[in-house]
Each structure stands twice: as C-alpha cells, then as structure tokens.
A and B are shown apart, each in its own frame.
Chain A
Amino acid sequence: MNPRKDLITIDALSDEDIRTILESTSAMKDIFTKSVKKVPALKGKSVLTLFYEPSTRTRSSFEVAANRLSADVTTFTVSTSSVVKGESVHDTIDTLMSMKMDYIIVRHKNSGIPAVIARHCKAAVINAGDGAHAHPSQAFLDAFTIKEKYGEVAGKRVVIIGDILHSRVARSTSTILRRLGAEVAYMGPGPLVPQEQYTGIPRFTNWEQVFTWKPDVIYLLRVQNERMDTPFFPRSDYHQAFGVTEERLRRIDDLNLSIMHPGPVNRGVEICDAAMDYRNCLINNQVENGIAARMSILYHLTPQTQNND
C-alpha cells in the first residue's frame, strides 16, 4: 500500500488500499486473543479524537484501537472548548497542531469538514463520520464482518434498510461492499431513499421487494430523528412497515439471513427485541471488529508530522 495520509472516503482509496486494510484487520483481531492485548506499533505517537457530534461507540472504539497500538490518546471535548465560543475549525486545528498531534480522528455534523481539516494540517486525518457524507471506518468493519461470516464479500447481496438520505453509513458501506464485488440495495420510507438514478443502487420501498431480491444480509439503520427538523414520514408506521418484526424475523431465520446494524439500536423501531438474540445477528461482531478495523486503519496511515518537530 502506498503511503496515505488521510482516510476521508472509501472512494479515495485504491483497491489495494482496501485489500491491505481488510487483511491486516484480521491480524489485528488476533492480537485480542493474546493475554497481552497491546502492540507497540504506534508507541510515542499522539492521537487526538475531535468529536463535534455526540458519539459513544465510535469514539471509544477508536480510543481502544489507539491504546492497543500503544499511542497516546487525547480527547478534545468540544462542548467545553472554545468551539462553543465561536472559534472556526481552522483556528481550532491550528491550535491543536501546535500540540504536534500525529493523528486526528474527527466527527462533525457538516459533510466535508474532515477533508477541509486534512488539507489544512500535516497530521493523518481519519473521518469518523461527517454529516450524511462518509463513515469509512464503519465501512471497513462492516466489510470485514461480512467477510468473516461468509469467507468473502464478492457475490453477496446486502440490503440496507432505513434512513438512507441522512446516512453516511449507507453511503460508505455500500461503496466498499460494491467495490469488493457485493450487490447492494436500499429500502426504506420513500422520502428517505434517494432515487436509483442518483445512487446507481436498486431502490425498494417494502419488504416483499426485499425478500424477492434474495439478500444474504439485512443491514438495518437507525432512524435519525435528530436530523429531521420536519418529519419525513408518520413515525408510528415505521416498525410495522420497515422494521424487523417478529414475523419478519421468522422469515429471516427460515432463509438463514444475517442481520447487521451500526448502532445504537432503537429496539421496537427498526428491530424487535427477539432479533437482538437471533443466531445470525452480527451486531456484537461488528462492535468487536470495529476495534480491529480501526487499529488497521491507524496502522496503515502515514502522518506527515515526522519533520514537524
């Protein structure tokens, strides 16, 4: 893999980049099985997590990943920083770069912010989710989880269900899966599923279409109420119309399909309680693989901060 400073989108990666990061995700996961869970790969390097949006899973996953590679992790808490006093992103980054950070892991509600930061600094910038644009580390852990379950991604059919319009996960995960030879379809309430002519991805609006398509994996998304200032659909319809109900779970079980979800899960909305204990529910695998994928990503990026001392 050629030296790469940042991870902003899956689109920006070569096939070799994708393959390399996925392959070493497996090696990183092996580290977990040892009694000493830490390797010195990033010893002496400093990692900053800069989350402008609330996050528990992604942030702690990145922090655990960085710790297991022996990096020093600093957490920048936006709510108590000068950002709330109106400081621009550029000025925040200048301040942080004066502290000689090697890796910046950033999440922001605006699409495109991580790219702006990446252009502006020498640290390796990892996009941990920007608006509805991209969430590449999620894409890697999803691809790895499917590969782990089925041996390979190519040829598999994955239907992503829910609020596609607001979902960076849908964009990044569909991109990596298609790059790896899988087929992807979208399903959800009409106003939340972009037209196929824009996405190049088949668009369904009910479960019958989904089952007819014969998917291998049902990938559920959270309904992002916080991004909907005006409702897009009658909320009380969602579970019956688009969720995995107990009846649909039985059909999913009969067909031996897998269920995935990037979390956090809204039980009773996109998924029923029973589905969380379903034998092919891969949600916990995703969480575990997230740490390995993020270790692999950190390991493969090359900050340009070496000569910046």
Chain B
Amino acid sequence: MSHSNRTLQLDKERRLLHFLTIDGLGKEILTEILDTSEGFTGVSERTIKKVPLCRGKVVANLFFENSTRTRTTFELAAKRLSADVLNLNIGASAASKGETLLDTLHNLEAMHVDMFIVRHASSGAAHFIAQHADRGVGVINAGDGRHAHPTQAMLDMFTIRRHKGEFVGLRVAIVGDILHSRVARSQILALNTLGVSEVRVVAPRTLLPSDARSLGVHVYHDMEEGVRDVDVIIMLRLQKERMQGTLLPSEHEYFSLFGLTERRLALADSEAIVMHPGPINRGVEMDSMVADGAHSVILQQVSYGIAIRMAVISMVIGTQNLHMQEIAG
C-alpha cells in the first residue's frame, strides 16, 4: 500500500501531486510541507490577508460528509491564495456510490476545476477521485471514512514543532477512540515518520484496533500510566454515536477513566502541551480547566490549520501546473 500511495502522491522528482495520506510519504516531503507552512503563517496578520499564488485557479470543496470547521479552513486557505472556491455539500446519495462520485467529478471537470478537496464517509474516496481525475487536477483528502485525515495530522505536527522545536526525543500520547479515528491513524504515521521517540495510544480495549501494536505504538489502558512524563497529549474527539452501542458505558464513566483533568495533566512533563482536533466535548474528553488552561494549544491548532492547508494546496497546484507545462511542451 505504501508504494502505491507514494506513486500516486509524488512525481519522479518527489513533488506533491495529490495529498491523500501520510502513508508512503517520507520525512523529507513532510518537512517540506511544514517549512512551506511556516512561510504562510504571517499572511493572516497582514492588512491584505492574501497572496496571489493561485490566482485564476478554481478549487472545489467536495464535501460528501458535513464538517463546518475543516471546510471553512480549506475555504479560507484557498481564498488566501487568491483561488476561487466552490463549496459543494453533497449528501451521500443512495445511488451506486462509484457512479455518483464519477458523475459528480466529470461534471465539475467540465467547469474547469483545478483542484478537488474531498471529504467522504467511505475510506478510499479521495484515492478513487485522484485516480480518475483529469490530468492537471490535484486532489486533497479532507478526511475519508476511518482511513486518513492527512492535513489534520500535518497541522498537529506543525503545532508540535512550533512548541517543541524538534521531533526527536519527544514522547507523545494519543488518547481516545483510536479504533474509529482517521485522525489518529494519520497522526501515528506522521509522528513515526518525523522520528519522535515514542508514540503511545491510551484507550479502552473496545476502542483500539486489534493490531494496534503493528502501527508502531505503545499501548496503554490506564490513563495515569499513559500520560506520565509525555511532552504532548493529543485528545481525540469521542463520537457521540459510539455511546449508543456497546463500546462504551457512559460519558460520565468515560470521563472518569480517560478524561484529561488537571490532576492527570500534572503527571505529564511540566512543559507538556495539550491538543484536540475539535470540537471538544467538555467534560467528556477533557475538563474545561484543561481545555482553557495554560498547556492548551487547541486554538493555535485552528490557526495553523489554515497555513498548513495553504501550503498543501499551493504545493499540489504548483506540481500539477508544472506537469501541464511539460505536456504542452
């Protein structure tokens, strides 16, 4: 899988053609994404919050699954690059999915869209679109099923690097529903690729994949043990619908076992940062005191998300442009 992911996402000179998953991407390209994002961080503080890099390009936000925050930050990122943005909220239709997806795709291509940003409830949807898109059209995965959410992982890496400087030597704990989380999967891949010393996952047995250790993580079922001495704590959002099944007893009990409280935070390194992809369920994943406390970098994650998405959009559009030039001779 890693190999096919690499060939779909990178060209022969290792430039980004699509951004679908962290899997198959090396440290070099992930670092290039982080470095490029660094250049974009200042744009939001200017009088004119725009750069002209992608002027005349059309970016389509293709959201088959609702997500206000992710869609908004992608939209803002594309607009700050001076691209035109189409927002399409397409509820997953009952019709044969492959056909619907391709029909939608070809209709938009007829409108000369240069990029698709895809959010879909089915794993592999963004890959499918990348494989079938016209030449010169880039695809970014904004979350597919349980599979991947690479821009979220990269904005988390950016937040960590901004606060900790380097990845080497860091201990990172990811807490919560690892089993259903595309965010966790992408984070684990990115953390290991960038060379942190230790990735821990902390979760009840019912919310861990059976092959968790094969992801290159240390598994903890006890919150106190899991966060002890770590430099970074990443809390995952608990999907409310999981509560209705048999996977979890109750919100109250989940919080008492795995919620991040000030007492538990005190077990981590004294300079530890607390992250969350949002939106937070206060009193379920973490105490309000922690979410709003001095260790929390949750709102910075949102700001950095725009810079990361500007970097990825411009890198992909840049590479696709180059290829079209080469074809044109």
Indicate, yes or no, whether A interacts with B: no
